[in-house]
Amino acid sequence: MATPLIVSEVAKAFTMHLRDGIRLPVVANVSFSVRAGECAVLGGPSGAGKSSILKMVYGNYGVDQGQIIVDHHGQLVDLATANPRTVLSVRRDTIGYVSQFLRTVPRVSALDVVAEPLVARGTDRKQAQERAAELLDRLNLPERLWSLPPATFSGGEQQRVNIARGFITDHPVLLLDEPTASLDATNREVVISLIEEKKLKGVALLGIFHDADVREAVADRIVDVTEFAAGKAAA
Amino acid sequence: MTDEPLLRVTALSKYYGSRIGCEDISFDLWPGEVLAIVGESGSGKTTLLNCLSTRLLPTSGTASYRMRDNQWRDLYRMSEAERRFLMRTDWGFVHQNPADGLRMTVSAGANVGERLMAIGDRHYGNIRATAVDWLGRVEIDEERIDDEPRAFSGGMRQRLQIARNLVTGPRLVFMDEPTGGLDVSVQARLLDLLRGLVTDLGLAAIVVTHDLAVARLLSQRMMVMKDGHVVEAGLTDRVLDDPRAPYTQLLVSSILQV
């Protein structure tokens, strides 16, 4: 399918039960789609709901209304209503995610953290580790760090582990939550070229980039999130 | 991999007199899936675990298990002997207190070997070799094989209990606060070990814990219980990052940040 991700009339609010049930609307009427081979960027100021949209697409946040349709194994799945098992299957094979922060696991080496998504899909561990090594090398992570758990790494080193982990698979949809936030110029360039390669392979990318240089380099289209402000839709 | 669940639980309730232990619990568990049941003391999570593992009979409701021959069996209509066989072979149960799951006065090797003998293994050399292998997998030094668990630290005892449970290649393991009562550094090591074993062996597991970090690290799905009821259920990261029920919000907001 040429449009592997379609978001349609999605709304989200948080209800804070510990604060007398106060309701915080986040976004409403979110509608856009991402075509294969393009990088759509969510634009708008902090607090507009960019990360929330990304998290809903990944199934990490619940969806109050609307549909998030993804082409999964040739079938259309609505992530807004899919059961946990389906969401896990979509994450394994269809939607990849590079978050801002790495959730580290004690005692697992950086190399294995990166290789894991491939191993989970049945790739031989050794092959997966080789592929992980290539990516870490490309992202200039010193080889002496590869066998260490990333918990003690610097912010930029952890982020590169995270990026390698997100880019190692060939998921047809890839979500990027500020992947370049704490990188130096050299490594930002590496990420830009990794994104270009994904586009050439027909991957649909949806990202948040605060860094204007990176955004201009990779974005084919800006999706203005302020259009989905919860108050606006109600009016 | 088949596309059928391993365990099907429907409208399970357990009452202690007029008091609710747990009420109207339904879920499916799939092969290779880890389900965390979280909640505070008295929420009914241990009652539910004990009903599922047939250590306790529910007041009403059913639980069906898919045996290795793909036949579905109603757990509460099996004979006692069949249930015991299931417990010894296809299931494991990891207790919070290792002393409840180990025989404290026989050697570490015998603790692991005993379950193999229970399924008919008689060759001493094979049993010992398997025991050595499993002690290694749970990071207990081979030379401790003839020591009694009484002489082990808390963390080692818990690792030994895990080896004893996993040696028969179970498909489903029940765990009751597996890291409770251990020092944090010991907890981290145990969690990492459990996580690796569960992934490598493709185990399905039901883990009762009050520790949300344990749930996050080990499980893909979780159920939050309060006063005997499931107040929220779903993908673990969804429930923890976007909690909806008032009680789940309270739990999540009560975590101390380090």
pLDDT in tens, B144-195: 999 999 999 999 999 999 999 999 989 999 999 998 878 877 887 788 888 8
A234 vs A68: CA distance, rounded Å: 21
Q: Average of pLDDT values for A61-83?
A: 96
Q: Take residue A119 and report the two structure tokens written for it.
A: 């191993």
Residues 6+ apart with CB under 8 A from B213: B255
- Closest approach of chain B CAs to the CA of A20, in angstroms? 10
**Is residue B240 very low, low, confident or very high in pLDDT (cuts 50, 70, 90)?**
very high
3-state secondary structure A94-139: CEEEECCCCCCCCCCCHHHHHHHHHHHCCCCHHHHHHHHHHHHHHC
Weakest-pLDDT range from A167-181, B53-67, B196-210: B196-210
| Contact criterion met (CB < 8 Å) for A18 and B250 | yes
| Contact criterion met (CB < 8 Å) for B250 and A16 | no
User: Tens digit of pLDDT for each residue in A96-153?
Assistant: 999 877 776 778 899 999 999 999 888 999 999 999 999 999 999 999 999 999 988 9
Is the predicted pLDDT of residue B52 greater than 50, yes or no? yes
Chain A hits for B244, CB-CB cut-off 8 Å, are 15, 62
DSSP 3-state of B135: helix
Is the predicted pLDDT of residue A235 greater than 90, yes or no? no
Residue A1 or residue A84, greater confidence = A84
In chain A, DSSP finds a helix count (H) and a strand count (E) of 8, 9
Share of chain A above pLDDT 90, in %: 83
A62 vs B232: CA distance, rounded Å: 12
Measured between CB atoms, does A151 come within 8 Å of chain B? no
Q: Which pLDDT belongs to residue B258?
A: 58
| Contact criterion met (CB < 8 Å) for A62 and B191 | no
Is the predicted pLDDT of residue A233 greater than 60, yes or no? no
| Contact criterion met (CB < 8 Å) for B246 and A107 | no
| Contact criterion met (CB < 8 Å) for B235 and A16 | no
Q: Average of pLDDT values for B129-138?
A: 92
Q: Average of pLDDT values for B231-238?
A: 96
Q: Which pLDDT belongs to residue A94?
A: 97
A123 vs B194: CA distance, rounded Å: 22
Q: How many CB pairs under 8 A join A and B?
A: 49
Q: What is the ipTM of this complex?
A: 0.91
Share of chain B above pLDDT 90, in %: 74
Chain B hits for A14, CB-CB cut-off 8 Å, are 242
| CB contact at 8 A, B165 and B173 | yes
**Is residue B1 very low, low, confident or very high in pLDDT (cuts 50, 70, 90)?**
very low
Nearest CA in chain B to A89: B220
Is the predicted pLDDT of residue B74 greater than 60, yes or no? yes
Q: Which pLDDT belongs to residue A234?
A: 47
DSSP 3-state of A200: helix
Nearest CA in chain B to A112: B196
B3 vs A85: CA distance, rounded Å: 11
DSSP 3-state of B227: coil
User: Tens digit of pLDDT for each residue in A172-184?
Assistant: 999 999 999 889 9
Q: Which of B33, B221, B244 faces A62 most closely, judged by CB atoms?
A: B244
Q: Which of A59, A61, A106 faces B188 most closely, judged by CB atoms?
A: A106
DSSP state of A225: G
Is the predicted pLDDT of residue B122 greater than 90, yes or no? no
Is the predicted pLDDT of residue B121 greater than 90, yes or no? no
Q: Average of pLDDT values for A42-71?
A: 95
A163 vs A156: CA distance, rounded Å: 10
Residue B229 identity: H
| CB contact at 8 A, A115 and A128 | yes
Residue A187 identity: N
Residues 6+ apart with CB under 8 A from B21: B13, B14, B15, B44, B47, B48, B51, B228
Chain A hits for B235, CB-CB cut-off 8 Å, are 59-60, 84, 87-88
- Closest approach of chain B CAs to the CA of A212, in angstroms? 29
| Contact criterion met (CB < 8 Å) for A18 and B191 | no
- Closest approach of chain B CAs to the CA of A21, in angstroms? 9
Paired with A10 in beta bridges are A30
| Contact criterion met (CB < 8 Å) for A55 and B242 | yes
B113 vs B125: CA distance, rounded Å: 11
Nearest CA in chain B to A20: B246
